[in-house]
Structure 1
Amino acid sequence: MSERSSSRAQTTIDFAIGAGVFLLAVAFVVAFVPSMLSPFAGGGQEDTVVADRVASQLVGGTLSAPETPYRVDGECAAAFFDASVAGDPDCEFDTDASTVNERVGVSDRVRLNVTLDGDRTGDGVERLCWDDDERRIVEADASGCDDANRFEAGPTPPTDSSSVVVAWRTVSLAGETAQLEVRVW
């Protein structure tokens, strides 16, 4: 009889356990290391926070009375979007501010665009505008709308929509439903 000796102690189960532990370690590194380094890497998470904060601020008191949030005052909206409004409307932002960033209190490093759209005539949602002659809100394609009075503020967002964060709020404007959109990139 010959004795059989083997110098190999590894079995199939040992191999499977080792491979499983290795794969779990790799999955952990891939899942958690990027989030640990995120404060040092560029990203869009802060854009999401800014867009949401600005949209909530606008509908919660800047363009409406604090006691009636989501009910946008037409003259404050016109003043916010740089339309000429008779007198000095009582609005919750600095009407003398030259940029949309100054009006909402956001750093100039943030690229910000704010628009207000609605369906005033029943033919689809369009950009709204301030009619200087009639002193009222109309759709941008109306005859009394001057391009300078369109309800849009800030630079034009890039066409690459994957880099733009959008926050929107449905509001009441002059008794009708409108859509406020804040874009940050």
Structure 2
Amino acid sequence: MSRTPRVGSAAPTGPGGADASSGRETAGDAGVPGRQETTEHRPERTERTAHAERASHAERSTRAQITTDYAVGAGIFLLAVAFAVSFSGQLFVPFGDEAGSPTADRLADELAGGLLGDPADPAVLDPVCTAAFFETFRNDTAPPAACAFGAADSPAAALGTADRVDVSIEGRPRDAGAVRLDTSAFPEITPDSVRLSTPASPHAGADATTARRVVFLDGRSVRLVVRVW
């Protein structure tokens, strides 16, 4: 009596004892080394790319100077020189005509501090003595005895200095010019009005220095201006 083979018996094995599924796995694994080889070549391409970038950067770094570069550099240099020259000029002449010398400051302090008024009340000018100070040089008249200065033929002689001096009382704002004082109420002063400025003035191009003081005259604020050259 013959026996019928049972269904589901083990599948036949392939050569070398490996079954068919094992053979399929082997065939599937055969492509893995190829993929690894492709992956190993990627760093090589990246290195070539980096080398090319370095070469391109070196080429740009060693590029010769062109006309545009020269023009930009020259423009910046000229601007720096112009700024340095203008700034150094301001250092040597910080205030121009406003800068006073020691002589101009001293004379302005003497006039505002008591020569044209009462030393006990500085910066307040006496109208009679102020008018007499300027009128003395025009009409060669002696000032009133109550004033602190004597007769003189020039502001420099009255102030006791060898420098040329110009004195004026100017209104405010600055462009108002010299003040004309009404002296009709003062019998000591012959004219009815006196222009409060001396005849002398710095000539064009003179190296004059100026001192200014804010003072009060006849109830209003004015500026005492002394120029020395």
Tell whether the structures are fold-level matches, with TM greater than 0.5. yes
Q: Deviation string for 1:95-145 (max 9, x for gaps)? A: x222111211112xx1110000125xx9x6231123354549xxxxxxx64
Q: Spell out the pairing of 1:3-22 with structure 2 (5 A cutoff).
A: none
- Aligned mate of 2:179, from 128, 136, 147: 128
Shift of 1:67: 0.3
Paired residues of 1:114 and 1:181 also in contact (CA < 8 A): yes
Q: Spell out the pairing of 1:1-185 with structure 2 (5 A cutoff).
A: 48-82=101-135, 88=144, 90-94=146-150, 96-107=151-162, 110-119=163-172, 125-133=176-184, 135=186, 145=193, 149-160=194-205, 163-185=207-229
The RMSD of aligned alpha carbons is 2.9
Query: Partners of 1:170 and 1:71 in 2: how far apart?
Result: 9
Q: Deviation string for 1:11-51 (max 9, x for gaps)? A: xxxxxxxxxxxxxxxxxxxxxxxxxxxxxxxxxxxx71110
Letter of the structure 1 residue corresponding to residue 101 of structure 2:
T
SS of the aligned residue for 2:144 comes to: coil
Query: Partners of 1:93 and 1:178 in 2: how far apart?
Result: 21
Gaps of 5+ in 2: 1-99
Query: Partners of 1:133 and 1:92 in 2: how far apart?
Result: 22
SS of the aligned residue for 2:227 comes to: strand
Query: Partners of 2:196 and 2:108 in 1: how far apart?
Result: 15
Letter of the structure 1 residue corresponding to residue 122 of structure 2:
P
Q: Deviation string for 1:72-111 (max 9, x for gaps)? A: 11111001001689x82511111x222111211112xx11
Normalized per residue, the structure richer in strand is 1
Select the structure of larger CA radius of gyration.
2
Gaps of 5+ in 1: 1-46, 137-143
Query: Partners of 1:52 and 1:128 in 2: how far apart?
Result: 21
Paired residues of 2:131 and 2:183 also in contact (CA < 8 A): no
**Structure possessing the higher relative contact order (Cα contacts under 8 Å, 6 or more residues apart):** 1
Letter of the structure 1 residue corresponding to residue 111 of structure 2:
L
Query: Partners of 2:170 and 2:111 in 1: how far apart?
Result: 14
SS of the aligned residue for 2:178 comes to: strand
Q: How many residues align?
A: 122
Paired residues of 1:115 and 1:153 also in contact (CA < 8 A): yes
SS of the aligned residue for 1:59 comes to: helix
Letter of the structure 2 residue corresponding to residue 175 of structure 1:
G
Query: Partners of 1:112 and 1:92 in 2: how far apart?
Result: 18
Shift of 1:154: 4.6
Query: Partners of 2:177 and 2:147 in 1: how far apart?
Result: 25
Normalised to the residue count of structure 1, the TM-score between the two structures is: 0.57
Runs of 4+ with deviation above 3 angstroms: 130-136
Query: Partners of 2:184 and 2:218 in 1: how far apart?
Result: 17
Query: Partners of 1:133 and 1:64 in 2: how far apart?
Result: 19
